[in-house]
Amino acid sequence: MASESKESSAYNPGLQATPDDATKSSFMQHTTFRIKDPKVSLDFYSRVLGMSNELYLDTYLEAVAWAVLLSHRPLGNLKRLLKRLDFPEMKFSSYFMGYEDVASAPSNSVDRTAWTIGQKATIELTHNWGTESDPEFKGYHNGNSEPRGFGHIGITVDDTYKACERLECLGVEFVKKPDDVNMKGIAFIKDPDGYWIEVFDLKTIGSTTAGAA
């Protein structure tokens, strides 16, 4: 066992060394956050975090609707969404975002959905209609207060410190700044619904986690 790495099944009871053939084509596709207000969340994930780089618009009228939704911004700036799915019967919408280059994505709406679901590591923002204007709605549990459950998602940046300077200027709420307490060089921020997002870069992550390697 001495020659085995810490990541091997020998050190991790329950870990299967050989995947089942039925799962060999599987991959992590998305995680879902329930959001209160899509106008606020879409602005945060596109403008603040820079996710996605093209908004798919079925019609000009939809483009106009989005311009209104996003604070009357010019149509040329609407370039941020992988895919939007609306479910009127169940009264919710899903917005898929990520860091994919979608310049060559299919123009057909159905094909676009399949393309989006084929991308790795995306986030689905799910909006149950009406929560944005419901005074009785108290928000969602972010998993980081009791009872604790879900923790956070993480994004890689070129430079954690420079990224955090920008985030601070944009008024983003921090849970932990890069030089706070332990694990220096790693930051945690909150999105508009209070979900935690870890921010780190490849230059410092190795030294920051060296003691746990």
Q: Is 124 annotated as a binding residue?
A: yes
Can you give the pLDDT at residue 79?
A: 43
**What is the pLDDT, as a whole number, of residue 69?**
52
User: What are the structure tokens assigned to 177, written together?
Assistant: 């700044």
Cα gap 110→106, rounded to integer Å:
9
Per-residue pLDDT, 106: 86
* Residue 72 pLDDT: 42
pLDDT on residue 2: 54
Token digits for 17? 């060394």
Tokens 């860091």 -> residue: 99
The ranges assigned to domains in the chain are: 27-53+78-140, 151-212
Q: How many C-beta atoms lie closer than 10 Å to residue 98's C-beta?
A: 20
The answer to whether 191 and 200 are in contact (CB under 8 A) is no
User: Cα–Cα distance between 117 and 32 in angstroms, integer?
Assistant: 13
E strands present in 82-138: 83-87, 92-97, 122-128
Q: 27-53+78-140 belongs to which CATH class? A: alpha beta
pLDDT of residue 65: 54
Beta strand spans in the chain (E): 30-35, 83-87, 92-97, 122-128, 152-157, 174-176, 187-190, 196-201
| Residue 181 pLDDT | 82
CATH of domain 151-212: 3.10.180.10
The annotation status of 165 as a binding-site residue, yes or no, is: no
Identity at 191, one-letter amino acid code: D
Q: What is the pLDDT along the chain (213 residues), one digit of tens a residue?
A: 456 788 888 899 999 888 899 999 999 999 999 999 999 999 999 999 999 844 444 444 454 454 455 444 433 334 447 999 999 999 999 999 999 877 777 889 899 899 899 989 999 999 999 999 999 999 999 999 999 999 999 999 999 999 999 999 999 999 999 999 888 999 999 999 999 999 999 988 888 887 777
Which candidate in 54, 62, 168, 198 is catalytic? 198
Q: 27-53+78-140 and 151-212 share one CATH topology?
A: yes
19-32: per-residue pLDDT in tens?
899 999 999 999 99
Q: What is the pLDDT of residue 75?
A: 37
Give residue 42's pLDDT: 94
| 171-209 as b/e: b if 16+ CB within 10 A | ebeeebbbeeeebebbbbbbbbbbbbbbbbbeebbeebe
pTM above 0.85, yes or no: no
- Catalytic-residue membership of 198: yes
3 state DSSP class of 30: strand
